[in-house]
Amino acid sequence: MPFSQDVETIELELLLEAIHRRYSYDFRDYARGSLKRRLWHRAHAEQLPTLSALQERVLRDPDCMDRLLVDLSINVTSMFRDPGFFAAFRADVVPILRTYPFLRVWNAGCSTGEEVYSMAILLQEEGLYDKARIYATDINERVVARAAAGTFGLDRMREYTSNYMQAGGKESFSSYYTAHEDQVRFDPELTRNVIFAQHNLVSDKSFNEFNVILCRNVMIYFNRTLQEHVHRLFHESLAMFGVLGLGNKESIRFSGHESCYQELHEEQRLYRRVR
């Protein structure tokens, strides 16, 4: 058994190296437990017996790499997920944003777009959307395209409506979308100030200066080295006194940039850059 475990570790590392060399996607510093489960999920879906067999197929079949990329992307999301975060954002961050003549918001790891539309709705209700530009990015171009389409399952609207109300929503949530059969499409006006683009937190650099950066429930899938890299990227990208929002299992504490931030809301992981 120890021998087979060692072989699997070697296979995994060779597969990640092959992906990096062939496609320039770098998953080598992702947390191993979750990563391994996702790789085996794809291997089984392709009816392959080993990670080595998956490596061979990925190298020779770009379509297989596209399917694997979907598996490796972090796509667990919902609108107004963790409503307390958005309620705290309204209470503690919106007053700060009112003082700026123009706002740049970066939603890093936007997945299929639920958080993008949530933030657009919040800014609209607070009278800030017209002076805002939201940059919605993800490693997976297919996922970014889905986010830009603004189409979601009708069966999720009950959950999203509940989240919206708990987050301090001020309107009827159904006024923001149009239903057709089992799908809803959100008002295109919500994305008139949104730029959707592919961006890799591992390998791509800062591309603007932002007043708000949201990266929630993404870094929990990274090891410590990669977390430090992303914190450095965000610090470089965040304007002085700008706000960083993380997921409820993430924190700026114990990172190399902890002293650069002031806690705005400890429980909801909202931080303001002060140096």
Q: What residue ranges do the domains of the chain occupy?
A: 2-72, 83-273
What's the predicted TM-score (pTM) here? 0.89
Q: Determine whether 23 is exposed, middle or buried from the number of CB atoms within 10 Å of its CB (0-12, 13-18, 19+).
A: middle
In this prediction, residue 72 carries a pLDDT of 86
Give the separation between CA 56 and CA 212, rounded to whole angstroms: 42
The predicted structure's pLDDT at residue 61: 97
Amino acid at 178: T
Quick: pLDDT tens for 145-185: 999 999 999 999 999 999 999 999 999 999 999 999 999 99
> What's residue 77's pLDDT?
87
In this structure, the strands spanning 151-153 and 270-273 are: unpaired
Scanning the chain, the segments in alpha helix (DSSP H) are 2-23, 32-45, 51-60, 62-72, 83-88, 94-97, 114-125, 141-149, 157-166, 224-237
Of 154, 179, 168, 61, give the one whose Cα is nearest residue 123: 168
At residue 229, the pLDDT reads 96
Instruction: Give CA separation, 78 vs 54, 82, 218, 223, in Å.
Output: 31, 9, 14, 24
Work out whether strand 238-246 and strand 210-215 pair parallel, antiparallel, or are unpaired. Answer: parallel
pLDDT of 222 reads 93
139, 187, 106, 167 alpha-carbon torsion, rounded to 10°? -110
Residue by residue, pLDDT tens for the chain (275 residues) are 455 568 999 999 999 999 999 998 999 999 899 899 999 999 999 999 999 999 999 999 999 999 999 888 766 689 999 999 999 999 999 999 999 999 999 999 999 999 999 999 999 999 999 999 999 999 999 899 999 999 999 999 999 999 999 999 999 999 999 999 999 999 999 999 999 999 999 999 999 999 999 999 999 999 999 999 999 999 999 999 999 999 999 999 989 999 999 999 999 999 999 99
What pLDDT is recorded for position 207? 97
Model pLDDT, residue 214: 98
- CB-based contact 242:214 (threshold 8 Å): no
What CATH number should be reported for the domain whose range is 83-273?
A: 3.40.50.150
Give the pLDDT score at 4. 59
Pairwise CA distance, residues 8 & 11, whole Å: 5
Q: What pLDDT is recorded for position 18?
A: 97
Residue with tokens 């539309």: 117
Distance of alpha carbon 153 from alpha carbon 120, whole angstroms: 19
The Cβ-side half-sphere exposure at 174, using a 13 Å CA radius, reads 4
241 Rama sector, left if φ>0, alpha if ψ -120 to 50, beta otherwise? left
